[in-house]
Amino acid sequence: MTGFAESHVEEAALEWLSGLGYAIAHGPDISPDGSTPERVSYDQVLLVTRLQGALERINPHLPKPMPGLIHMLEAEKVVEVAG
């Protein structure tokens, strides 16, 4: 019996998602010092721009920009830090 590693599952999932039209964003590329940074620091776990884009694709009838989304996400961050 051959070994089964986490990387096998990850590679299969990435291949499947790629077939569905999803793109892969490599961590080092989107890091604060990467070639296409999407966050200011590593403390910023939620990528607001990606979330907002996904919500707009899923719900095209929502107003743009979605009122309160950034405020709600910032409030969540404050609760997380305070907790």
Q: What pLDDT is attached to residue 39?
A: 86
Rounded to the nearest 10°, the torsion over CA 70, 72, 30, 7 is -150
| CA distance linking residue 79 with residue 66, whole number of Å | 21
Q: What is the pLDDT of residue 56?
A: 84
Per residue in 10-52, pLDDT (tens digit) is 999 999 999 988 888 888 899 999 999 988 888 888 788 888 8
Burial 11-34 (b: 16+ CB within 10 A, else e): eeeeeeeeeeeeeeeeeeeeeeee
Specify the pLDDT at position 76: 58
Residue 67's pLDDT is what?
61
Q: What is the pLDDT of residues 57-69, one digit of tens each?
A: 888 887 766 666 6
